[in-house]
Amino acid sequence: MTLVDHSARSAYSPSLANLRSLLAMRGIALFGQAAVLAWVVWTTRSTQPPWGMALALLGMTLLTAASLWWSRGERSVSDREFFVQIMLDIVGWTALMYTSGGADNPFVSYYIVPLVVAAAVLPWTYTWWVAGAAVTAYSLLLVFNIPFPLFSPHAGAVHAGMHHSGPLPQGDLHRLGMWFNFLFSAGLITFFVVRMGGVLRRQEAREAARRENRLRHDQILAVASLAAGTAHRLGTPLSTMTILLEDLQEDADLGQRARDDLSLLRGQLGQCREILRELSDTAELSETGERQRAAVTRVVDTALQTWAARRPGVSCELRITGSGEAPIIAFDQTLPQALENLFNNAADTGSALIETSVDWDEHECIVAIRDRGPGVSAELSRGLRAAPGQHRGLGIGLVLTRATAERHGGSLSLDNASDGPGAVATLRLPRENRV
């Protein structure tokens, strides 16, 4: 199971803060164009006011206000929503540039801003669409525009409708150079910023995975230390009870039935001592990180036989469904304990039969443990898929089993059976390529 922290969004993905920053940049650019419009109205003596630019500014202002209203409060922003906002930015800016001189307007370089934002925030597919839209808009503005007095002083009279300025003049090397520079910059930004953004995302994902691994490791060590301490503390009273049992068995007045009961009790105490010894060994091996290698069928069969000896009242069945030679897995002492936890969970449902199957493919081994109990709740199934620290009512056995599976590079899932009553716990483990 791949862990994803759903509560923490990447700094390089769409978010409400990024959208508001985009709207803030749009507002600053509109303020600059509004200042230009006010200057033109104040200083020129044209008999025809620049209504086109004023209407474009008003439309962009209303669009920005509507976007700010939409982004009020707390909400998530998807890639598509952020992409739509950037495309609206380009379309609105194109209308504004068209009414104010087209490519002659020095503010035409603002197309770089949404392009950089898209390259830093959006996936590369969206970014290339933004780059194509920006380059297309800039190219059209070279040919189609309404001359603006401040930027096109020699363009002649301003027409009320669309003005076609004709093909590019042969001598207009400056405008051609600006267009080529924009095209070159757009290509470089789109390619390299997207790559750098991808590197940052991967680094952040690796760092998040390392944090989760450290958290799981700390949890395992904490439980292992607790187990080792508990085993050490219980060793003394178990030894005392064993000595007292030996003294009682030497009493000549005891009947045969009492002696049999004492022998059984002594065997149970010995089994408790063996379990505590295994806990201590598991804790030590968890700290050292030592691992063994064996066939997955052997590991599962050994764990099942050990568990069956402790739960003689439950029938168990093992099926090997994989083809060919059983693959090798690398494991430590916590894996057999994790398997026994799953066996215990299945038996605790009241199921009289526990069915275990082992299968494998080219990459992993699949151990499925099926019971015939009442099944699992949706909350419990979701709890196994939750991030570390969000156990949602899972028992300590399932928590440790999931942590063990993930520490071995595998996963654990718990779902209701599809072919009848009961649940299926599926443990997936990576296979070794060689012994």
Residues 385-427 pLDDT 10s: 554 444 444 566 777 788 888 888 898 988 888 888 889 999 9
> 224-264: per-residue pLDDT in tens?
666 667 766 777 788 888 888 888 888 877 788 888 888 88
Given 167, 184, 202, the domain boundary residue is: 167
> 320-373: per-residue pLDDT in tens?
998 888 999 988 878 888 898 899 988 988 888 899 999 999 889 999 999 988
Burial of 34 (0-12, 13-18, 19+ CB in 10 A): middle
Going by pLDDT thresholds of 50, 70 and 90, the confidence category of residue 382 is: low
Mean pLDDT of 27-32: 83
Given 120, 141, 167, the domain boundary residue is: 167
> 156-206: per-residue pLDDT in tens?
443 434 444 445 444 366 677 777 778 888 888 777 777 777 777 777 778
pLDDT at 377 over 80: no
CATH number of domain containing 347:
3.30.565.10
Tokens of 29: 């650019």
- SS3 at position 63: helix
Number of domains composing the chain: 2
What is the per-residue pLDDT for 192?
78
- The answer as to whether 244 is a domain residue is no
| Same-domain pairing of 20 and 153 | yes
Residue bearing tokens 């060590």: 221
CB under 8 Å to 60, separation ≥6 — which residues? Answer: 26, 30, 92, 93, 95, 96
Q: How far is CA 214 from the centre of its chain?
A: 17
- The answer as to whether 89 is a domain residue is yes
Percent of the chain having pLDDT more than 70? 77
Going by pLDDT thresholds of 50, 70 and 90, the confidence category of residue 11 is: very low
What is the per-residue pLDDT for 271?
77
Secondary structure (H, E, C), 145-188: CCCCCCCCCCCCCCCCCCCECCCCCCCCHHHHHHHHHHHHHHHH
Per-residue burial over 255-264, b = 16 or more CB atoms within 10 Å of its CB, e = otherwise: eeeeeeebee
| Same-domain pairing of 163 and 28 | yes
> Hey, which residues does 315 pair with through a beta bridge?
353
Q: Which residue has the higher pLDDT, 384 or 69?
A: 69
Say how far apart CA 169 and CA 58 lie, in whole Å. 33
Contact 296, 428 (CB under 8 A): no
pLDDT at 152 over 70: no
- The answer as to whether 322 is a domain residue is yes
Model-wide pTM > 0.75: no
- The answer as to whether 78 is a domain residue is yes
Strand 411-416 relative to strand 353-360: parallel, antiparallel, unpaired? unpaired
pLDDT at 288 over 70: no
- The answer as to whether 28 is a domain residue is yes
Taking the CB of residue 75, how many other CB atoms lie within 10 A of it?
Answer: 10
- The answer as to whether 183 is a domain residue is no
**Mean pLDDT across the chain:** 77
Q: Residue 189: how many CA atoms within 13 Å on its side-chain side?
A: 24
| Same-domain pairing of 22 and 162 | yes
Given 135, 167, 199, the domain boundary residue is: 167
- The answer as to whether 210 is a domain residue is no
Percent of the chain having pLDDT more than 90? 13
- Domain range for 99 is 16-167
Q: How large is the C-alpha radius of gyration of the chain?
A: 36
- The answer as to whether 224 is a domain residue is no
Torsion of CA 372, 374, 379, 380, to 10 degrees: -40
Mean pLDDT of 120-132: 87
